[in-house]
Structure formats: C-alpha cells, structure tokens
C-alpha cells in the first residue's frame, strides 16, 4: 500500500460559452499508506474530477499527482495499479460472479492456480462463495456492490478509489455495507480515497475528511476535528445543523474562551486567537444544549418535531432562534409550543 500526494492540482474546463471554468482549484493533499480519506462536499464541488485525475481518466491542467514516490500525473490508467468502485456497479452482465472477479487477474495473465486461489480467498472474505455461479441480474443491489468491491480488491492495487459506491442502496443496507467496506479496507490495509456527499458516511468511515466547495479544499481533518472545530462557516453549516450566534468575547485563554450571548456565558474550546470585546460568530450544535430548569438561558418553544431518537425544538432566546435536540424526551416528555423553558 502506498501514499498518495496531490500538489497544487487544478483542472479547468471550457464552458459552452467558451469561458474557462475551474472544476478543481489548487488541491493539496497527502494521504498516508493504509489510510481511508474521504472527499466530501455538495454536488458539483469537484470530487469526481479529483478522483478521475487520480485514476488517470483526466489529466490535471496544472499540478502533480504522486503514488508513493512515483509521479503519475500523465501515466495512463492501466499503468497506475489503482482499483476503482463506482456508484453503478459496472459488472459484466454476461459473466458469472466468479468470472467477474477473476477478470482483472486473467487480464494480468496471472497463472491458473494462483488465480483460482486468489478469487476463492476474496469470495470467502466478501461472503460471496455461495453466489459464485450466479449472473449479475440474479443478484440484489447489495450483492452486486459486494461483487464490485471484490473485483476491485482481488488484484491487490496500491490504491482504491470509490465514487459514491453506496448511493444506490437503501438506508439500512448502506450503513451495513459502509461498515463492511471499512472493515475490509482496514484488514487489507489498502490506501483509499472515498467520495461521498453524505456527511454521516464520511464521519463514520474516514481516517481523514477533506471538505470541498466550488473546487477548493475548505478543511482537512479527522472526523472529530471537522465536526467540532470547523474552520469556516461553510464547513460548520455543511457538517450538520449549526446555530450561528452573534456574540461577544468576554475572556480568551489560548484554547478556551468565554463568549457572552443573550445575557449568559457560553464556554467554548477554540483554536482561534481572540481579543476581549471582539464580536464573533459562535457555532453551537443542537445537541450541545440541554433543557435544564436551572439553566442560564431562558427561551420560549416555537416548534417541536418528534424524530424518534430525539425531539427537535426551535426555541427563541433573546433575538435569536436556536435549534436544540433533546435525546432524553422519553424521560423529559415534550414541552409544548409556547412554553417557557430554560437551557444550559
């Protein structure tokens, strides 16, 4: 397994009107051997274009791509030793599961016995042994995606690339496959780049997450970093529900700050440099609020939504409206619209 490095990689296209447009702008990224790194961002932000440049289907307009120490910027796809899994499974319809998986090895002219033992090993690993004689049309979506995965790992590529591989599956199966895929990737230790627009999928499977918007990298970090220490408003907003509170710094001590808001004080962990009295945007995640009769913020319930795992409240506090999640509603009950509540 190899490292993957992107150095100042950009890709421009000419629009039908004849203007130059960036699909990807100045991307710098270093993926360590064996890591799974996710490219996450809204539709059109440049995820697929980045992956296609890694695979060799597109050539960067500028910048360089390395796999391990080897510069591969202009190396053709079949010479890169990279495996790719797509949203559409792209299985050969006229080949059995076994032959679909064996295909890549046959092309590489791997000797017969070795081919058979490697296919058998992957069939077992992916729990596909009993399906090996079936054709793709005789498989469910989840089974087809398992075959596509098996086919991509059997050649033991240096790098695996995934472009939204689970988006055709229903929610339950998607979660199951997500965990299976992560387990497989870790057990094989293959460096992987994974594209998704689904925040929870990215948080669940990644060593590192790369947040992209309009072709540019917004932040690179661990899932925890991205969720709890967003570097800008776009990241905070994209990674889940966020209350943006216009507030004032009361005190700043390196990694901790006390922020004045709505007559109370919010204590936050921060990596930002601040000064006393400075106006700031403070981001509070909905699950950080707690309903508490002795809480320092008083508000009024505007709306409640029952969501099973939690109740979503909209509460007016001072001149702001905040969203709060109550995961203890089975104990607390639900406060009706109009009720005065206290939060901490």
- Nearest residue to Mg ion by CB is 48
Among residues 45 and 82, whose Cβ is nearest to ligand ADP?
45
Cβ 97 vs Cβ 128: under 8 Å: yes
327 binds, among Mg ion, ligand ADP, none (CB under 5 to 8 A by kind): none
Give me the least distance between CB of 91 and ligand ADP, in Å please: 22
Among residues 44 and 68, whose Cβ is nearest to Mg ion?
44
44 binds, among ligand ADP, Mg ion, none (CB under 5 to 8 A by kind): ligand ADP
- Which of 2, 48, 243, 270 binds Mg ion (CB under 5 A)? It is 48
Give me the least distance between CB of 42 and ligand ADP, in Å please: 7
49 binds, among ligand ADP, Mg ion, none (CB under 5 to 8 A by kind): ligand ADP
Dihedrals phi, psi of 51, to nearest 5 degrees = -65, -40
Angstrom distances, CA of residue 102 to CA of 109, 139, 158: 11, 18, 18
By CB under 5 A, is residue 50 in contact with Mg ion?
A: no
Kindly report the CA angle at 81 between 80 and 87, in degrees rounded to 5? 100
57 binds, among Mg ion, ligand ADP, none (CB under 5 to 8 A by kind): none
235 binds, among ligand ADP, Mg ion, none (CB under 5 to 8 A by kind): none
Question: How far is the C-alpha of 3 from the C-alpha of 158, rounded, in Å?
Answer: 9
Among residues 47 and 80, whose Cβ is nearest to ligand ADP?
47
Cβ 56 vs Cβ 77: under 8 Å: yes
Among residues 35 and 48, whose Cβ is nearest to Mg ion?
48
Number of H helices, E strands in the chain: 9, 18
Q: Which of 54, 67, 65, 31 is nearest to 220 (CA)?
A: 31
Give me the least distance between CB of 198 and ligand ADP, in Å please: 12
Give me the least distance between CB of 47 and Mg ion, in Å please: 5
- Helix (H/G/I), strand (E/B), else coil: 43: coil
Positions of E strands within the chain = 4-14, 20-31, 36-40, 62-67, 70-71, 82-85, 159-163, 191-196, 208-213, 216-221, 243-253, 256-261, 264-269, 279-284, 297-306, 311-317, 320-326, 340-343
Binding site for ligand ADP (CB under 6 A): 13, 23, 41, 43-49
- Helix (H/G/I), strand (E/B), else coil: 8: strand
Among residues 104 and 165, whose Cβ is nearest to ligand ADP?
165
Question: How far is the C-alpha of 101 from the C-alpha of 331, rounded, in Å?
Answer: 52
Handedness of CA 301, 303, 306, 310 (dihedral sign): negative
23 binds, among ligand ADP, Mg ion, none (CB under 5 to 8 A by kind): ligand ADP
319 binds, among ligand ADP, Mg ion, none (CB under 5 to 8 A by kind): none
Among residues 50 and 155, whose Cβ is nearest to ligand ADP?
50
Give the number of residues in contact with Mg ion, rule: CB under 5 A: 1
Among residues 23 and 102, whose Cβ is nearest to ligand ADP?
23
Residues that bind Mg ion in the complex, under the rule CB under 5 A: 48
């Amino acid at each position: 397994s190899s490292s993957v490095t992107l150095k100042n990689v950009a890709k421009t296209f000419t629009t039908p009107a004849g203007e130059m447009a960036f699909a990807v702008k100045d991307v710098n990224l270093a993926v360590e051997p064996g890591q799974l790194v996710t490219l996450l961002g809204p539709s059109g932000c440049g995820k697929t274009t980045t992956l296609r440049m890694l695979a060799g289907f597109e050539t960067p307009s500028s910048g360089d791509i390395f796999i391990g120490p080897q510069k591969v910027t202009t190396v053709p796809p079949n010479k890169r030793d990279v495996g790719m899994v797509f949203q559409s499974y792209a299985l050969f319809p006229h080949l059995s599961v076994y032959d679909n998986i064996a295909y890549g090895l046959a092309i590489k002219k791997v000797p017969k016995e070795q081919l058979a033992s490697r296919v058998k090993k992957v069939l077992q690993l992916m729990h596909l042994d009993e399906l090996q004689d079936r054709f793709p049309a005789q498989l469910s979506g989840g089974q087809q995606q398992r075959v596509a995965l098996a086919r991509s790992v059997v050649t033991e590529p240096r790098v695996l690339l995934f472009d939204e591989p689970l988006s055709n599956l229903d929610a339950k199966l998607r979660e199951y496959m997500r965990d299976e895929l992560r387990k497989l990737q870790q057990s094989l230790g293959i460096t992987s780049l994974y594209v998704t627009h689904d925040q929870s999928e990215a948080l669940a499977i990644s060593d590192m997450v790369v947040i992209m918007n309009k072709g540019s990298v917004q932040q690179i970090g661990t899932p925890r970093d991205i969720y709890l220490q967003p570097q800008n408003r776009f990241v905070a907003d994209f990674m889940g529900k966020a209350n943006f509170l216009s507030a004032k710094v009361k005190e700043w001590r390196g990694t901790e700050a006390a922020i004045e808001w709505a007559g109370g004080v919010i204590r936050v962990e921060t990596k930002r440099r601040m000064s006393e009295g400075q106006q700031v945007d403070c981001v509070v995640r909905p699950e950080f609020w707690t309903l508490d009769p002795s809480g320092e913020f008083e508000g009024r319930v505007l709306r409640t939504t029952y969501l099973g795992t939690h109740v979503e409240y909209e509460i007016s506090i001072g001149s702001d409206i905040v969203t709060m999640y109550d995961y203890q509603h089975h104990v607390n009950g639900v406060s009706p619209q109009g009720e005065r509540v206290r939060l901490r």
